[in-house]
Structure 1
Amino acid sequence: MTEPPRVPPPKPAATLASEVEAKARRKLRARRQGTPGVWFGLGMMGLVGWSVVVPTLLGAALGIWLDKHHPGGHSWTLALLVAGLVIGCFNAWHWVAKEDRAMHRDAEEHEHADE
């Protein structure tokens, strides 16, 4: 004959109560903090974009000025435009990595607080 399916034993009341309490705390915290909306994402994209554009344009402007006042065999505009772009990309990477670390740190702190 076949055995009847095994049903796991019910959880103790204390464990169930602590799980319900943890879920309730998470829901309340989520309501207080809210979820970032579309405007938050657009603002972050704008911040990252400007952190790349500003150094690139400053490098190009300085290069144009140097090419007018100190002409030579190579283009200062092109060299400083690329240098500004590299600095801007590094700046954007640094900003995004910092925000990512902050988000993960907050999530871990809240996770440990629920325990």
Structure 2
Amino acid sequence: MSEPEERDPLVKGVRLRGERHKRWLREGEASTARRLAQIGVLGWIIVVPMLIGVFIGHWLDHRFNTGIFWTAPLLFLGLGLGCWSGWKWMQGA
């Protein structure tokens, strides 16, 4: 295969789709339990960084007596990190 074909996102996408189709033919449709488990994992991937941000922010606010100066931004930072992580996980799944 030539070098430009290896870097072309369309070629990569088609190859990935073909691999996923072959896996589906080999393994069959995923069960309802597996789909629910994937939804649960996705939820935790998003929620855990948010909770970490809240706990660290609350600790910093309590330590420096700053109201919610650290909690709010760290919550949103955790949300962004969690959504990004969930997106990356979904692209690989």
TM-score, length of structure 1 as denominator length: 0.56
Displacement after TM superposition at 1:73 (Å): 7.5
Partners of 1:48 and 1:56 in 2: how far apart? Answer: 13
Query: Across the two proteins, how many residue pairs are aligned to each other?
Result: 70
Structure 1 segment 5-16 matched on structure 2, within 5 A: none
Match of residue 36 from structure 2: 42
Other-structure match for 1:80:
74
Task: Write the mapping of 1:1-115 to structure 2, written as runs, cut at 5 A.
Answer: 30=25, 33-72=27-66, 75-99=69-93
- The runs of 5 or more residues in structure 2 that have no matched partner are 1-23
Shift of 1:34: 3.0
Aligned-pair identity in percent equals: 37
Q: Which runs of 4+ in 1 moved over 6 A?
A: none
Partners of 1:69 and 1:80 lie apart in 2 by: 15
Three-state SS of the structure 2 residue aligned to 1:35 is coil
Root-mean-square deviation (CA, aligned residues, Å) is 1.8
The superposition leaves residues 17-63 of structure 1 with CA deviations (integer Å, 9 ceiling, x where unpaired) of xxxxxxxxxxxx84x62320111110110111000000000000000
Distance in structure 1 (CA, Å) of the matches to 2:88 and 2:50? 16
Q: Structure 1, unaligned stretches of length 5 or more?
A: 1-28, 100-115
